[in-house]
Structure 1
């Protein structure tokens, strides 16, 4: 199957309002093919469209086409590095304002969706009673489904270390 490309989905142009994400990571060069393959939604349950164009990795919401994250990749003989990144801050397209959570989420999208690693889904910070109620009410898995869907990823545990 050929890698995903921008032409595979209806997408919006990059937002005018964005913020540095300050996400950095490195991956073994043998994972470059998986990173470059991207992800094309197969059904309504798939929430992300991801593709690589040149040195950039693009993360669009599948329903709206909004570009949420963009990461610049650099390469050497042994590794793929994320050297630059930003997050959409146009509130009409993306309501999150928690940059730390966005870093955790994009890491999950890379490791869980693209690299198919078994990684826990990050939970946003919800301190005190609100976080406890969220956890006890079983809303953590519903939240995960609303963010990434369920058809293209195995069930993961929710990472409770980020709050609560």
Structure 2
């Protein structure tokens, strides 16, 4: 089930930056470090906490869909995300709705932080 690791790709040049603001506590960073790893064929996402970012890839293709750069600094115990970078290559990701991107990242973060799969906030046939 770890074949997804060989498929992980960089973010394409076709991308957009969306305003996003979220602070992650040290406890949340520890939870994020566990990652969001596919356990079966139906798990379509990989979430990785890297040095300086949280990244979400599609598990079947490895396409890099969402990138949250993280900043650490004075007065921040954990880390802060100040923007969301989203893949806009239509061959890799069909969604073009910024609100949907923000909802999707929040859903993926909730899954990653809790370790429990939650139903997506949109119909499954629109999973992008």
Which residue is 1:81 aligned to?
A: 80
Structure 2 distance, partners of 1:73, 1:100, is 21
Greater share of residues in strand: 2
**What is the TM-score with the length of structure 2 in the denominator?**
0.81
Over the residues paired in the alignment, what is the CA RMSD in angstroms? 2.5
State how many pairs are aligned.
122
The answer to which structure, 1 or 2, has the higher relative contact order (CA under 8 A, 6+ apart) is: 2
How far did residue 44 of structure 1 move?
0.6
The answer to whether the aligner puts 1:72 opposite 2:69 as a matched pair is yes
Which residue is 2:52 aligned to?
A: 55
Unaligned runs of 5+ in 2: none
Structure 1 distance, partners of 2:77, 2:10, is 33
How far did residue 117 of structure 1 move?
7.8
Larger mean Cα displacement after TM superposition, 61-70 or 79-88: 79-88
Among 113, 116, 123, the alignment partner of 1:115 is: 113
Task: Give the 3 Å change call, closer, same or farther, for CA 9–41 of structure 1 in structure 2.
Answer: farther
Structure 1 distance, partners of 2:127, 2:114, is 17
Considering only CA atoms, is the larger Rg found in Structure 1 or Structure 2? 1
